[in-house]
Structure 1
Amino acid sequence: MTDTSSTPTTEGEAQVPRRSRLLRVVRYIPLIAPVLLWAVPCWVLLYTGQSWPLPVKLLGTALFALGLVGMPLAMARGHGRRQQDRAAIIGDTLLGTGWILFTWSVLLGVLLRLALTVAGVGGSQDRARIVTWAILGVGALMLGWGYAEARRVPRVRRLDVQLPRLGAGLDGLRVVLITDTHYGPLDRARWSARVCERVNTLEADLVCHTGDIADGTAQRRRDQATPLGTVRATRARVYVTGNHEYYSEAQGWVDLMNELGWEPLRNRHLLLERGGDTLVVAGVDDVTAESSGLPGHRAHLAGALTGADPTFPVLLLAHQPKFIDRAAAAGIDLQLSGHTHGGQIWPFHHLVRLDQPALAGLSHHGARTLLYTSRGTGFWGPPFRVFAPSEITLLVLRSPQAAASPGTGRADTSA
C-alpha cells in the first residue's frame, strides 16, 4: 500500500456549495417548528370533540406547553455555549417525542377519523376518543421501538458491488463502512466497543469511517471514540471529516483518529494493491469545510487524486451524498457516503431528499459512477430511529474479469 498526494493549499479549491432548497426551507423552521410540534398534537388530542373533563384538558395543555417551552430552552443549554449534556439529552428527547406525536396526530387525526366516519362507527365524540387513544398508543409504540433501534448495535448490511474497472486481483475485496457514529451527550462507550467488535467479525480488508464521529470536541468525547482504535483491517483504516466535525474543532478529530491508527484522507489518497492490481482509495473533506474558516480544510477532489494513475479504479470517501456530482464528473468508480441517516425518524426523509440526491443504498450516477449511501451507524440528537434502521455495511467489490458471482448487486441483512 502506497501513500501519495498531499493537500494543496493555493489552487483548485472547490466552489462553495450553493444554498440548497432545504436550507431555504430550514431558515424558517426554528420559528414555527416548536409551535407546530406541540400545538397540533395538543389540539388533536384534547380539543377536537373528545369532551374531556376540565382537569384533564388543563393538565394535558400544561404538559404540551411545558414541552413547547422546555424543548428549545433545553436544546439551547445543551447545544449552545454551555454545552450541558444533561440539558441536551432532555431537549433532544423532547424534540423526538414532539416529532413523533406531531406525525401520528396528523396522520391518525385525519385518516383514522375519516375511516371511522365512513364506517359509521359511533358518534363524533366516540370517534374522537378512539383517535386519541390510537395516537397515544402508536406514539408510545414508536417511541419505545425507536429508542431500542437507536441504541442497539447495528445489523450488518452486505452488498456485492461490481466495478467494471476493478482488476481480477482485487475481486472479493471486503470494504466495511461505518459512519455517523455521533458520540454525544448520551455516553455510548460500551455501544462503541460493541460496534467495533462486530466490525472485527467481518474480516475487512479496508474499513472506512465517512465522518460525523461525534457531537462535541475530541477531548470531550474521547472515551466514546477510543474503541475505534481496536478496529482491525488487513490493509487500511481510513477516515474523512463530516459536517459535525466542523461544529467542534475538526482538527482535533483528525488528530485523534490519526492517533488511533486511522488514516485521515484529507484531500489525498492511498493505493491498495493486491494480485497485481491497484485500487485508489481517496478521500475529501466535507463540503462544509471551506466555510469553517479552518486553514487548509475544504473539499478538493483534484487534490485527492493528484499523482494517481487515471487508469486505476477509484473508491472515494465523501461524507455527503451531494458530492456525487463532482465525483461523477471526475469518473469516480464508487463513492461511499453517510450523512442522511436514512431520515432517522420517519417521515423526516422527505426533507432529507430536498437536500441530497440519495437517501440510502446503492445508486447510479453518470456514465460509470456508483454511490453507496449508508443510513449511519449511530444517531444524531433525538435517541430514536423509526423506519430508518442503523447499519454497518460490508461491501464486497467484484471484478467482471473474475468469475461471475451469483447475487451481485443484491443486498441482505444479517444480525
Structure 2
Amino acid sequence: MLAVMSVDEAVETEPRRRGPRFARFGLVLVAVLSLLFGVPWATLVWSGNDWPLPVLVAGTLLFAGVAAGFPYLMFRGHGGHRDRESRIADTLLGVVWVLFTWSLIGQLAGLVLLVLGVDDPIRSRLVSAGVVVVSAGLLVWGHIEAMRVSRVRRVDVTIPRLGPGLDGLKVVLITDTHYGPIDRARWSRGVTEVVNSLDADIVAHTGDIADGLVEQRLEMAAPLGDIRARFARVYVTGNHEYHSGAQGWVEHMEHLGWETLHNRHVLVTRGGDSLVVAGVDDRTAGGSGLPGHRTDHEAALAGADPDLPVLLLAHQPQQIKDAVAHGVDLQLSGHTHGGQMWPFHYLVLTDQPSLQGLSRHSERTQLYTSRGTGFWGPPFRIFAPSEITLLTLRSGRPGNGR
C-alpha cells in the first residue's frame, strides 16, 4: 500500500514540479526571441525610418513570422534529428545574431549622427542601410570561412619534463568537427588530406565529432579512418556526443582504428623516453545517464608512472582544474570554437577559462584550446577562423632530439 501511494504521489506531484520550470523556460525563450528579433525589427523596420505603410506591415509580418516559427524549426530539427529543419533553423540563428549585433552597433552610430545634426528619416535610413550592408558582407564572408578546409596553426610547446628523445614530437589536433545537417563529406576528406601532409606522430580528436547518430554521419566520418599517425590516433568524447549516441561514436571510432581514451591512457615511446597520452570523458558525461561514462582523471592515469610527462585530452577547457590537480603537463581541448561568431566570444568566457591558444594554469600545467576544425549550428565563422593545429613538443631537458 505504501509503495502504491508513493507512486501515485510521484505521478501527482511531478507536474507541479515541472510546471514552474517549464513556465520559466517559456518566459526566458520569449524574452530571448523578443530581443533577438525585436532589436533588428526596431532598427530596420520601425525606428524613425518612416517607411510607407505597406513596407512597415510587410517587414513586421516577416520578423514576427520568422520569430514564431524559429523555436518549432529548432526543436523539430535538433530534437528530432531532422536535417532539413536543422539547416533552416541554424542558418536563421546565424543571420539574426549578426543582425542583432549590428543593429545595436547601428543604434550607437545613430546617436553619433544625431549629435552631428542628421535628422530622421535620413538618420534611421542611413543606420538601416549600414546594418544591412555590413551584416550581409559578414554573413557571406563568415559562410566561406566556415565551409573552407581549416588552415594549419603551428604552435611550439615546451614541456620541461619531456625527455630529449621526444623533443620535436608532432601532435596534430582536430576537434569539434560537428558533422551535421549540412553535407560536408568533401570538407572531411580535405581535412584528412591536410592532416596527413603534416606527418604527425600523434593525431588527437578532442570531441564533438558529430551532431547526429553514427548511421546519419557515416559518409562524413569515413575519412577519419584514412588519417595517418606514426604512433597513435586518439579520441575523447565531447558534450555533443551525449546528444548523438556517445557509445555508438566511441565504438565507431575504434572501428575506424582510433584509440578511444575513455578514461584511460596509452604510452608513446621514442628515443628511450616516454609520454603518457591520457583522455577523459567530457564533463557532461556523468549526467548523461550512459553507464560507465563520466569524467575520471584517476582512472585515466591509473598505473601511469608519475615521473613521466602527461598529455591529456579533455574536450572542455574548464576541465583544466582537475588536470592541474592531477599533475598534467599539457591539456588539449576544443569546445569554445574561438567564439565562432563575434561577439559571442565574451559569453564563452563566462563559462570557460580560455577562448583559444596556449595558456598556463600552474607551474607545471599548460592548456591549449583549439578554435575548432568545424562549426556548430550556424554555418558561419566571424572573426574566429577554424584550425587544424600542429603542436610541436619541445623538451626542457638537455640531450639530442630529432
Aligned residue in 1 for 2:49: 50
Aligned residue in 2 for 1:411: none
Does the CA-based 8 Å contact 2:165-2:400 persist in structure 1? no
Aligned to 1:40, the other structure's residue is in SS state helix
Aligned residue in 1 for 2:103: 105
Aligned to 2:186, the other structure's residue is in SS state helix
TM-aligned CA distance change 1:187 to 1:198, over 3 Å:
same
Deviation at 1:72, TM superposition (A): 1.2
CA shift digits 1:70-113 (9 cap, x unpaired): 211111110123x2110110011111111110000011212x11
TM-aligned CA distance change 1:33 to 1:403, over 3 Å:
farther
- Distance between the aligned counterparts of 2:79 and 2:201, measured in 1? 40
- Distance between the aligned counterparts of 1:214 and 1:370, measured in 2? 27
Question: Partner letter of residue 316 of structure 2?
Answer: Q
Aligned to 2:295, the other structure's residue is in SS state coil
CA shift digits 1:246-298 (9 cap, x unpaired): 11211100010000010000011011001111100000011111111111111
Aligned to 2:61, the other structure's residue is in SS state helix
Aligned to 2:393, the other structure's residue is in SS state strand
TM-score normalised by length of structure 2: 0.91
Does the CA-based 8 Å contact 2:175-2:206 persist in structure 1? yes
Does the CA-based 8 Å contact 1:282-1:314 persist in structure 2? yes
Structure 2 portions without partners, runs of 5+: 1-23
Does the CA-based 8 Å contact 1:171-1:402 persist in structure 2? no
CA shift digits 1:351-371 (9 cap, x unpaired): 111111111111110221000
Pairing 1:109-188 to 2, within 5 Å after superposition = 109-110=107-108, 112-120=109-117, 122-188=118-184
Q: Does 1:223 align with 2:211?
A: no
Deviation at 1:60, TM superposition (A): 1.2
- Distance between the aligned counterparts of 2:66 and 2:163, measured in 1? 57
Deviation at 1:115, TM superposition (A): 2.3
TM-aligned CA distance change 1:28 to 1:169, over 3 Å:
farther
Aligned residue in 1 for 2:281: 285
TM-score normalised by length of structure 1: 0.89
CA shift digits 1:48-69 (9 cap, x unpaired): 1111111111111121112201
Aligned residue in 1 for 2:12: none
- Distance between the aligned counterparts of 2:126 and 2:94, measured in 1? 24
- Distance between the aligned counterparts of 2:210 and 2:302, measured in 1? 30
- Distance between the aligned counterparts of 1:325 and 1:156, measured in 2? 28
Aligned residue in 1 for 2:63: 64
Question: Partner letter of residue 118 of structure 1?
Answer: V
Aligned residue in 2 for 1:269: 265
Aligned residue in 2 for 1:329: 325
- Distance between the aligned counterparts of 1:369 and 1:352, measured in 2? 22
- Distance between the aligned counterparts of 1:264 and 1:170, measured in 2? 23
Alignment match of 1:87 (pick from 70, 85, 88): 85
Aligned to 2:249, the other structure's residue is in SS state helix
Deviation at 1:124, TM superposition (A): 2.7
TM-aligned CA distance change 1:404 to 1:53, over 3 Å:
farther
Does the CA-based 8 Å contact 2:164-2:400 persist in structure 1? no
Does the CA-based 8 Å contact 1:212-1:241 persist in structure 2? yes
Aligned to 1:128, the other structure's residue is in SS state helix
Deviation at 1:190, TM superposition (A): 0.7
Aligned residue in 1 for 2:302: 306
Aligned residue in 1 for 2:365: 369
Aligned residue in 1 for 2:13: none
Question: Partner letter of residue 37 of structure 2?
Answer: W
Does the CA-based 8 Å contact 1:178-1:393 persist in structure 2? yes
Structure 1 portions without partners, runs of 5+: 1-24, 406-415
TM-aligned CA distance change 1:72 to 1:304, over 3 Å:
same
Aligned to 1:389, the other structure's residue is in SS state coil
Aligned residue in 2 for 1:78: 77
Aligned to 1:124, the other structure's residue is in SS state coil
Q: Does 1:96 align with 2:94?
A: yes
CA shift digits 1:201-249 (9 cap, x unpaired): 1110000000000001111111110110010111110000001111121
Structure having the higher helix fraction is 2
Q: Does 1:246 align with 2:242?
A: yes
Deviation at 1:401, TM superposition (A): 2.1
Question: Partner letter of residue 83 of structure 2?
Answer: D
- Distance between the aligned counterparts of 1:315 and 1:235, measured in 2? 14
Question: Partner letter of residue 66 of structure 1?
Answer: G
Deviation at 1:126, TM superposition (A): 1.2
**RMSD between aligned alpha carbons?**
1.6
CA shift digits 1:123-179 (9 cap, x unpaired): 232111110100000110111111111101010000000001011100000000000
TM-aligned CA distance change 1:404 to 1:96, over 3 Å:
farther
Aligned to 1:278, the other structure's residue is in SS state strand
TM-aligned CA distance change 1:402 to 1:145, over 3 Å:
farther
Aligned to 2:121, the other structure's residue is in SS state helix
- Distance between the aligned counterparts of 1:140 and 1:29, measured in 2? 28
- Distance between the aligned counterparts of 2:284 and 2:251, measured in 1? 19
Aligned residue in 1 for 2:186: 190
TM-aligned CA distance change 1:340 to 1:26, over 3 Å:
farther
Does the CA-based 8 Å contact 2:372-2:386 persist in structure 1? yes
Q: Percent identity?
A: 61
